[in-house]
Structure 1
Amino acid sequence: MDTVTIPPQRRLLGRFAPSPTGPLHLGNAMTFLVAWLCVRSRGGRILMRIEDIEGHGRDPAVIDGNCRDLRRLGLDWDEGYGVGGPHEPYRQSGRSALYRASLDRLLEQKLVYPCICSRRDVQRMGAAPHAGDFHPYDGRCRGRFRSYDEARRVLEGSGRLPAWRFRVPAGEIVFRDRLCGEQRVNLAETYGDFPIARHPDGIGYQLAVVADDIDMAVTQIVRGGDLLACTPWQILLWKALAPERPLPEYCHLPVVVDSDGKRLAKRTGGLTLDALFSAGVRPERILGLLAYWGGWAEFGEELSVDAILPRFRLDTLSDRRPTLDEKALKFLLP
């Protein structure tokens, strides 16, 4: 396929898109801070979208707690959850009609098909891929089923649903990430056809995030580097669903790790903002540590977001590895 390039953006709109599976930790806070700084430093706007299509992410108390903790840090947004705006609802759990319409558009183009292969099946098809947890898929379900229901009947009693897979074209996808630089991926050779959802109506992360970003006119996506590998998938979906629309600007950040080099995660008990606030830690102290990780402050400074903003430079993050080590912990909780 033709090289994909990121054209200049006319209207800068970034987004916060938390998945409310639990309290936010310092890694989440770092990502949201940089997203806020990237937008505010360029005079743009921010929206808040709640990515709660998974059942365990729909607890209103968790959602409101996440929003409260971001506001405590001084991170605000201009439209979205709790604020309102032209693209209601701002919770993915209420946007299933958009995902069904997006799936139908892909079906009309014959770009997706139902697949009954499990992750273990895919792992057995060949050697491990070059990046992440993805495994190449050999397309064995292409043309196998006339409908999703036919594929679902084959899996009856297994406890699994078929996946919708996107037909990957031959050729290289090339895009430029603001922090990671030029990226070149040949998905047909490295990953094969990829899953976009396991729901009959296309309700799943890969399709939903692209459909929402298109519908909400998002022009800048700032997120953790662990999602860089699936960006080519989302570029293909974007070009299929909105070929007339410019692609967003992508920026993937270093992931905050603990002293053992393991990524912080809400599911594994990474130090949470709520726990820090409950212990009496001031927002300025938390922000001071985040700014130190970003290269915008000396260690030990306490700063507000407004004080960090004029110091912000994205390029200082390129050679950083933010680490929640003993030094950082002693600063937060002396």
Structure 2
Amino acid sequence: MNLPHKVKIVEVGPRDGLQNEREIIPAAVKVALVDRLTAAGFANIEAASFVSPKWVPQMATSAEVMAGIRRRPGVLYSALAPNMQGLEAAHAAGVDEVVIFGAASEAFSQKNINCSIAESVQRFRPVALAAREMGLRLRGSISCAFGCPYQGEVSSDTVADVVGRMRDLGCDEIDIADTIGVGTPRQVQQVMARAAGAFPIAQLSGHFHDTYGQALANIYACLEIGVTTFHSSVAGLGGCPYAKGATGNVATEDVLYMLHGLGIHTGIDLGAVVDAGQFIASHLGRKAASRAGNALAASRAAAQP
């Protein structure tokens, strides 16, 4: 089976990866991380979140981070903007792309944002319209597309329905996310194929967590059916506060090691990403959750005279 020749990696570590850290990380450290990732060659970096600091204190410095990063022309710097206040703040901060988010699980939607799936998408309508008027790229993210911690199985028909609703809001790209990491390769292919019936597969992206060790296999399964955009988090940072036991996003270093081994072009310097992963892991005081990253770092250290 033919695999894509080129893949886009959306680096989500600075936002999704760090948002649930208990200790507040200085804006300067976040800026340094984004700058390292920019220099590594990412075309899209999820750098901030303009949500209420009451709910996500870690993201309270988002405007400061956006003001401090060294931007590279052609790189999309993305941020979550769940309401008009967040959108206006994101626009003022110079964000290139705003992200709105819903769920494929009614139970998760109620637990997460206290409303139904349909209501959640409807709430984003003014945000989507305003983002368009501001000339911002719009991305939709659908959580719990492969399973839910509250209701269990999630129907692929429901996923496709939410994709259609996001499409109708004018999204340029839509993320299909395995928030709790329960998906397996054949299931992932079925859900992605169903989603592709509602939105072009070239504009769908896979967002996988590695709770059950299936993330790389799921990405490979997506490659087999033509998905060419994936999310990953440097050093395997992240998790989900609404999904107990969910580990971080799949580690960027591991994804790059696999893709480069397959001869797939990413435009990203793996060595520079390893350095970025070791940098942020050192600041957090723990080992990076990336097997390839830690192995490459150890190999490099062993080669030093």
Bigger relative contact order (CA 8 A; separation at least 6): 1
- Of Structure 1 and Structure 2, the greater helix share is in 2
Task: Work out which of the two has the higher radius of gyration on C-alpha atoms and give 1 or 2.
Answer: 1
TM-score range with shorter-chain normalisation? Answer: 0.3 to 0.5
TM-score by length of 2: 0.33
TM-score by length of 1: 0.31
